[in-house]
Amino acid sequence: WSVVDNAYHVSTAGAALAQAGSTAWSEYSFSAMLYSGDSDGGDLGMIFHAQSATQYYRFRWNRNAAGTAGSYVIERVNGGATAIGSAAGSYYDLNRWYHVEVRVSGSRFRVYIDGAPALDVTDASPVWTTGAIGFFASGQSSADFDDALVTRLDEAGCTVGAGDLVTYTLTISNQGQAIGHDLVITDAIPT
């Protein structure tokens, strides 16, 4: 793993993991931009509910060398890999960035590719309901990961009174390039 052109880059014939965060994390959305320039195929993915380098769940997206077949798979990795759910016929295109989001809620895992639902599965025999996040690649001579973002999904509200100053952060996930002029961002105050 290395940083190339401000993205996390990996080149490996085998499997490679990069892990970050806390094993106490639960109820979160983990999103990032994924890219492969490897014409021989291979796997790209994201890990979540990670306990260690050998214990985690992962979203694995594969593609054959011909670029004619592939699938989305969510797997529980605990030594070996056990498929929890999959969708065939879903391979990635080379030399293209994809926005991938995994929403983790207990033992339910939802994956979105460029904003469109890709998988929605529940592990009937969950091993972990909390864990760290990370990236996964296998058989990739050139794969990149960028713009990682983790946000909490649970209801962690607060009380705001009249006259209180409210400060919040607005995160915009860039899924493409567009020129903007005189932009106005508005948000409705809950009633």
pLDDT tens by residue, 65-112:
777 788 899 999 998 999 999 988 788 888 999 999 999 999 999 999
Domain assignment present for 132: yes
**Residue partners of 78: CB distance under 8 A and separation at least 6:** 54, 55, 127
**Above 60 in pLDDT, residue 147?**
yes
Domain assignment present for 137: yes
Reported pTM: 0.79
Total domain count, the chain = 1
Residue 105: which CATH number?
2.60.120.560
Give the tokens for residue 74.
């969510």
Q: Confirm whether 164 is domain-assigned.
A: no
What tokens were used for 142?
A: 């050139």
Name residues whose C-beta falls within 8 Å of residue 100's C-beta, 6 or more positions apart in sequence: 31, 32, 33, 34, 46, 59, 61, 111, 112, 113
Q: Residue 66: inside a domain, yes or no?
A: yes
Q: Is 182 within a domain?
A: no
111 within a domain of the structure (yes/no)? yes
As a whole number of angstroms, the longest Cα–Cα distance in the chain is 62
Instruction: Examine the pLDDT at 14 and tell me if it is beyond 90.
Output: no
The boundaries of the domain holding residue 43 are 2-152
How far apart CA 51 and CA 121 sit, in angstroms, is 20
Per-residue pLDDT tens over the stretch 131-140:
999 999 998 8
